[in-house]
Structure 1
């Protein structure tokens, strides 16, 4: 078993230090989105942030630490928004018609789109760098799968746990991939909306049919 990696990123407790750390991250996010990660040095980030390179290294000892942190922050934001919306959907009760199921899936995809479209430049840079770093977009799926699984159980009904687990996996990955591609800069707003609506229709129809099959 390989040795466990130690997270060397400083987690400051003082308000000023936290603000400095967030400023570095915000600056890195802007530059990564503008230039790409491979074309952005830590010296360039420090210069744009108006700090010394030594100060940057106090918080992030290498560029990959910035990439990992930005990925974590992005995933946490999607997770927060999704969880909030998911609990709202749960309180409305289970859908009944195919259109209801499609509407639920559209809600899920809207959560993804709200974050991904707003951060499209950074997303493009981060996705291109995932293969070079230990953490990344793959962490998105296990962190959201349990929330989606609760929705699946509520809307489709109880059943074989492995089947519900796989359904949740498919929903998260299919939905995220579709919205990720639709969030690209070269996709128009109309095409993005059409792609998301079509994905919601496919996912909703599938969930509805699964529900009908599970009824006695």
Structure 2
């Protein structure tokens, strides 16, 4: 390789030659010139290339590792989200099933209670109908107080409810009349003439009035006790 001194010498010779021919000598920039010594050898160039390759490979591996970790984290997050969604769906389904079962149980209880109540009313009506049929007929001699007549036309439980209503409506006075409405008799029929369906002597015969009142309570409420329950809320029936 040529040294810096040699290059300088060559420049000097060229300068002398140019001067000798009468031309203006030009300075030679030897400081900015690339020295042959700075040019890497083949071995150095290969080493540099290998270093670049190693760095590039390391960068790729780092990028691949980062991408792999990101993919794993994304997969973990998705799996957790899927598991939570499934748990929420399972809980919602379980809650819906529990609510449906509770509703079905409540309906079954309500239906059973309604059926039991209907059966009780039917039995009471049947019993009251039998009792009423065997009671004194309208116009016949009763030979007793209105209370004893009524007691003979129904069982004791129903009689007590019936008595509670009559006591508050008329005080067991067969000729009681409401001065405001005109309601008449033991059960305060409105108008009193309604009781004619039970007998023409409805104005004076307690048996006729009781028979009509008992039929009215059975037909309208199911029994005297049901009528009494209504009366306690509304103070009328």
Larger radius of gyration: 2
Relative to its length, the structure with more helix (as a share) is: 1
| TM-score in terms of structure 1 length | 0.25
| TM-score in terms of structure 2 length | 0.23
Higher relative CO (Cα under 8 Å, sequence separation at least 6) belongs to: 1
